[in-house]
Amino acid sequence: MDLLAALGRGIPAGWRVTLVTPQPDFHYSGMLPAIIAGLEEPGAADIPVARIAAAAGIEVTRASVTALDAGARSVTLHDGRTLDCDLLSLDVGSIVAAGRLPGVREHAIAVRPFALALTLLSRLDAHAAAGGRGAELHVVIVGGGAAGVEVAFAVRARLASAGCHPQVTIVSAASDDGLPLAGFALRQRRRALRALADRGIRVMAAEVTAVESDAVCVIPAASELQERLRSDTTVWVTGAAAHPWLASSGLRCDSRGFPLAAPTLALNTDATIFGAGDTVTLCDAPHTAKAGVYAVRMAPVLAANVLAVMTGAVPRRHYTPQAGYLALLSTGDGRALLNWRGLSLESAWAQRLKSWIDERYLTRQRALLRSAGA
């Protein structure tokens, strides 16, 4: 969005800019837990990126990308068209790591892209309506990271508000120790587990072997026996995976298929392809989490360096990821878990802080439409 804002202030002479986007709106993922919980309408997360671009004189192509030839700087779209370019900013994010387990694609629901999250809402509401008040509904969340924890809280809140008795289980990796939020400090993980338990949400460390229409098959940690967990709705939140077409693009990628970005966020040696956010892995900090807080900090560096190339200058700004970040995980009922360095707490004011941060971000992005004169 910073690059779009910079171009909105004036496209350098001699350049024609095209935005390729499958949807007219960008959906801010920070609002997703509140939407799933039923505290916000789906439109609360929308930023009208296509309208912002058009108002700034940028051409908009509604399409998804299926292939990239980095050497030729040629992008292939889902309808077979190709777009050639002199300069490319590759900001396609990531997809959910679904793997090849039996039944995942047929029976599990991911929450990215945003349209799939709306499918989850429809599924939950249909089950609640069919079961009626007091119905016991079983939901399995596969993935015990921050996203999985927030989705579990939000699903429980939505079903509880419909008068149901939600039975929510988080299945984390079998290598975990039975606590959610691997990678967080132990104190923070224990507080999260208490908050989940207080709301009746179970956490199980297990290996998922298959997903069925009404169950998730798992082998619990320290066991060799498979179990079937009843699941009326299975949600797949297992972290980020690269778009499959990136590995064959000709860009240098890591072992997971994410393009490797220099500190300038250039993806090739002649600085004609750039990328940021979940799309890339940083050469100098390959273990940086695929989290929005890092993408937000990358954005101004990306914008400055792309504009430098467009004006004939050398990209000079470097991105260095911050050592840590403030994590705010909504519990779906007016409270949030706050994790900052060694501090961990749960409170209503933490949720107010999260809401303020989310609203400030959305207001700033939507203001681009007004500044573009639309």
- The more confident residue out of 291 and 230 is 230
**Domain end call among 189, 214, 237:** 237
Q: Which of these ranges, 36-40, 118-122, 160-164, 290-294, has the smallest mean pLDDT?
A: 290-294
Q: Judge if 111 and 223 occupy the same domain.
A: yes
- Is 339 domain-assigned? no
Q: Judge if 221 and 251 occupy the same domain.
A: no
Q: Judge if 86 and 192 occupy the same domain.
A: no
- Is 313 domain-assigned? yes
Torsion of CA 364, 365, 368, 374, to 10 degrees: -120
- Is 14 domain-assigned? yes
Which domain, by its residues, includes 357? 2-95+241-323+351-371
Q: Judge if 16 and 135 occupy the same domain.
A: no
**Domain end call among 195, 210, 237:** 237
Can you tell me the mean pLDDT for 260-278?
A: 95
Q: How many CB atoms lie within 10 A of CB 319?
A: 22
The pLDDT, as a whole number, for residue 226 is 93
Coil vs helix vs strand at 277: helix
Report d(CA 85, CA 18) in Å as an integer. Answer: 9
pLDDT digit string, tens, across residues 39-92: 999 889 899 999 999 988 999 999 999 999 999 999 999 999 999 999 999 999
The pLDDT, as a whole number, for residue 373 is 53
The pLDDT, as a whole number, for residue 293 is 86
Q: Which pLDDT band holds residue 112 (cuts at 50, 70, 90)?
A: confident
Whether 154 contacts 34, CB under 8 Å: yes
Q: Which pLDDT band holds residue 372 (cuts at 50, 70, 90)?
A: low
pLDDT digit string, tens, across residues 113-132: 777 888 899 999 999 998 87
Residues 6+ apart with CB under 8 A from 130: none
Whether 242 contacts 98, CB under 8 Å: no
Whether 221 contacts 176, CB under 8 Å: yes
Q: Which of these ranges, 250-254, 324-328, 329-333, 369-373, has the smallest mean pLDDT?
A: 369-373
- Is 50 domain-assigned? yes
- Is 341 domain-assigned? no
Report d(CA 44, CA 179) in Å as an integer. Answer: 32
Q: Judge if 81 and 24 occupy the same domain.
A: yes
Query: Looking at residue 223, which CATH number applies to its domain?
Result: 3.50.50.60
Report d(CA 109, CA 106) in Å as an integer. Answer: 9
**Domain end call among 219, 237, 255:** 237
Whether 193 contacts 181, CB under 8 Å: no
Q: Judge if 223 and 125 occupy the same domain.
A: yes
Q: Which pLDDT band holds residue 8 (cuts at 50, 70, 90)?
A: confident
Q: Judge if 184 and 291 occupy the same domain.
A: no
pLDDT digit string, tens, across residues 208-263: 999 999 999 999 998 889 999 999 999 999 888 899 999 999 999 999 999 999 99
Whether 166 contacts 155, CB under 8 Å: yes
The pLDDT, as a whole number, for residue 374 is 52
Q: Judge if 185 and 302 occupy the same domain.
A: no
Report d(CA 105, CA 71) in Å as an integer. Answer: 33
Q: Judge if 252 and 232 occupy the same domain.
A: no
Peptide bond into 113 cis (omega under 30): yes
Q: Which pLDDT band holds residue 198 (cuts at 50, 70, 90)?
A: very high
Coil vs helix vs strand at 289: coil
Can you tell me the mean pLDDT for 328-350?
A: 93
- Is 336 domain-assigned? no
Q: What is the mean pLDDT of the chain?
A: 91
Q: Judge if 112 and 19 occupy the same domain.
A: no
- Is 329 domain-assigned? no
CA-wise closest residue to 97 among 165, 147, 156, 134: 147
Domain count, the chain: 2
